[in-house]
Amino acid sequence: MSDEQLVARIRMQALAAHLTEAAAGWAQRLGLPLQGESEFALQLGESGLQLVELGPQAPGPVKVDFVEGAVAHRRLFGGGSGQMIAKAVGVQAGVRPRVLDATAGLGRDAFVLASLGCEMTLIERQPLIAALLEDGLARAALDREVAPIAARMQLLTGNAIKLMCAWQGEPPQVIYLDPMFPHRDKSALVKKEMRLFRPFVGNDLDAPALLEAALNLATHRVVVKRPRKAPLIEGAKPGYALEGKSSRYDIYPKKKLQAASE
């Protein structure tokens, strides 16, 4: 889809008069119109940015909220370092790796790892999703309990392959990839998000190049999240996998993660 076609499908909208100027700022940054017919709207309200499909049968809005809701519940009751994603990236006693989440999306997995003490860099290439993520992180920074976690999350917007190939500074120990694929997850939340994002995101057809770039950059391991029965990403083969009920983590080890004192 061309940029012109995308813009024709979505507009920026302020939900309160005093937010008009701020909404205009987002519209300018993202190249979105403030008026006209559209199928979707990026709305700025009292509680931040949200993406919504317009129309009587549309699902509710999607936003990034690290303070309340499902993400907060997982932070408090999700199982800590015993979670499969934590094991996949190598979280263990004395080890909190520096992780690059190169397919950040709405940032849920990155937030889980940051809440466990990992220093996270996030890359999101879709500007609308990156805007939701930026807004969610800004609001999280204002919450006393969540601010220390948000401080461990740095957001970059752009093409992850290009950014990884031109990486400057200390490379990440672990790179985490969760390429877009046709989700088998039947939860209402995932179905709503997929319906909203599909017109703007599509599938990651460049997943093999993404994996190759990650393997060239990561110092210790690359982790790829996949549906449990999905085929491997084309290219190098993982050393092993961790399998859950609906997902699995393909792990490409390069070097053993060790505690700083070792």
206 belongs to an annotated ligand binding site: no
According to the annotation, is 143 in a ligand binding site? no
101 is in an annotated binding site: no
Name residue 18's amino acid.
H
Is the separation of the CB atoms in 128 and 200 below 8 Å?
yes
Annotated binding residue 234: no
DSSP string, 175-211: EEE----------HHHHHHHHHHHHHH---TTHHHHH
Instruction: Please give the Cα distance from 6 to 140 (Å, whole number).
Output: 29
Buried b (16+ CB within 10 A) or exposed e, 190-220: eebbeebbeebbeebeebebbbbbbbebbeb
Query: Nearest to residue 29, comparing CAs of 46, 14, 12?
Result: 12
Residues whose CB is less than 8 angstroms from the CB of residue 206 and which lie 6 or more positions away in sequence, other chains included: 161
d(CA 41, CA 54): 7
Per-residue tokens: 30: 């993202």
Burial 158-187 (b: 16+ CB within 10 A, else e): eebbebbeeeeeeebbbbbbbbbeeeeeee
> Known binder of ligand: residue 125?
yes
Cite the annotated binding site by residue number.
108-109, 124-125, 178
Cite the annotated binding site for S-adenosyl-L-methionine by residue number.
108-109, 124-125, 178
